[in-house]
Amino acid sequence: MPGKHRNPGDPLDFTPHPKPKATTLAEYSQYKHVEAWGLMMGSKRYYITYQQCEAFKDGAPLNATYKDVKTGVWQTTDGLPPDHDVYRYLE
């Protein structure tokens, strides 16, 4: 039966899930520091956009720069010296 489990305790869930809310590129582009970090590192535009999308989905702080792959924690500009190269890419 659609929308129900086939049997009690069946691990397969056939319940329809709502589609995620459409998100605009403008919402992703709030993550200017992710973009600046990517440009500083020489990343391709598609990868920078992908990282901005991930930051948005993860609810990262707006001053996030990149996600540490070992810890899964978004690194931020907190603690960076004011003359760090990343700031040149924010202008």
| Between 20 and 14, the higher pLDDT residue | 14
Q: What angle do CA 52, 86, 44 make, to 5 degrees?
A: 45
Confidence of residue 29 (pLDDT cuts 50, 70, 90): confident
Average pLDDT, the chain: 83
Taking only the tens place, the pLDDT of each residue in 49-80 is 999 999 999 999 999 999 999 999 999 999 99
CA distances from 77 to 44, 45, 74 (A): 21, 21, 10
Q: What pLDDT does 32 receive?
A: 96
Taking only the tens place, the pLDDT of each residue in 30-43 is 999 999 999 999 99
- Domain-located, residue 43: yes
Full residue range of the structural domain in which residue 39 is found:
25-90
**63: closest CA among 25, 23, 35?**
35
- Domain-located, residue 52: yes
What's the structural domain count of the chain? Answer: 1
What's the average model confidence in pLDDT over 1-25? Answer: 54
- Domain-located, residue 4: no
Amino acid identity, residue 28?
A: Y
- Domain-located, residue 75: yes
